[in-house]
Structure 1
Amino acid sequence: MRALVVEHGDGGPVRFADVEEPLPAADEALVEIRHIGLNLGELRYAEEWPAGVIHGHDAAGVVVRAAADGSGPAEGARVALGMAPYAWAERVAVRAAWLGVVPDGVELTDAAALGVAGVTALRVLRTRSLLARKVLVTGASGGVGRFAVQLAALAGAEVTAQVGGPDRAAGLRELGARDVVTDLSTVDDRFDLVLDAVGGPDLARMWDLLADGGAVHLVGFASGQGTTFPAGALFGFGAPRTINTYGDATSPVTGELTDLLGLLATGRLSAQVGLRGDWKDVDDAVRALFAREVRGKVVLDVS
Structure 2
Amino acid sequence: MRALLVDHAESSGLRLGETEDPVPAPHEALIKVRATSLNFGEVKDAIAYAPNGTVPGWDAAGVVVRAAADGSGPAKGTPVVSVGANGAWAELRAVDSARLGTAPPDSDLGAISTIPVAAGSALRALHRIGPLLGKRILVTGATGGVGRYAVQLARLGGAYVLASTSDPATHGAGLRALGAHEVVTGPRELTLPVNGVVDVVGGPQLVESFEKLSADGTLIAVGHSARQPESFPLHAFNGDGGRHNRTIATFFLADCPGLAPDFTWLANQVAAGVLDPQISWRGGWDKAAEAVSALLERRLHGKAVLDIA
**Which band: TM-score by shorter chain?**
over 0.9
- Among all aligned residue pairs of Structure 1 and Structure 2, give the percentage whose two residues are the same amino acid: 44
- Residue 147 of structure 1 is matched in structure 2 by 149
- The offset of 1:10, in angstroms, is 7.0
- The offset of 1:295, in angstroms, is 2.0
What SS does the corresponding residue of 1:274 show, helix, strand or coil?
A: strand
- The offset of 1:299, in angstroms, is 0.6
Distance 1:211 1:281 in 2: 46
Distance 1:72 1:135 in 2: 35
What SS does the corresponding residue of 2:304 show, helix, strand or coil?
A: strand
Relative to 1, partners in 2 of residues 1:248 and 1:73: Cα closer, same or farther, differing over 3 Å? closer
Q: Which of 286, 290, 301 in structure 1 is aligned with 2:292?
A: 286
Q: Which consecutive unaligned segments of at least 5 residues does structure 2 have? A: none
1:131-186 C-alpha deviation (Å, 9 max, x unpaired): 10000000000000000000000000000000121323341111110001123322
Stretch moving more, 139-148 or 208-217: 208-217
Distance 1:157 1:7 in 2: 45
1:82-124 C-alpha deviation (Å, 9 max, x unpaired): 3463111111122211211111353111111101111100001
- Residue 53 of structure 2 is matched in structure 1 by 52
Distance 2:147 2:184 in 1: 13
Distance 1:68 1:205 in 2: 49
- The offset of 1:190, in angstroms, is 0.7
Distance 2:56 2:270 in 1: 26
Query: Please, what is the CA RMSD of the aligned residues?
Result: 1.9
Within the alignment, does 1:207 sit opposite 2:210 as a pair?
yes
- Residue 102 of structure 1 is matched in structure 2 by 103
Relative to 1, partners in 2 of residues 1:273 and 1:248: Cα closer, same or farther, differing over 3 Å? closer
Distance 1:45 1:115 in 2: 18
Correspondence 1:217-232 to 2 at 5 A = 217-232=220-235
- Residue 172 of structure 1 is matched in structure 2 by 175
- Residue 90 of structure 1 contacts residue 302 of structure 1 at CA under 8 Å; is this kept in 2? yes
1:17-47 C-alpha deviation (Å, 9 max, x unpaired): 3210122233322211111110101111124
Correspondence 1:1-303 to 2 at 5 A = 1-8=1-8, 11-46=11-46, 47-83=48-84, 85-104=86-105, 106-127=107-128, 128-165=130-167, 166-237=169-240, 238-252=243-257, 253-303=259-309
Q: Which consecutive unaligned segments of at least 5 residues does structure 1 have? A: none
- Residue 83 of structure 2 contacts residue 95 of structure 2 at CA under 8 Å; is this kept in 1? no
Residues paired across the two proteins, number: 303
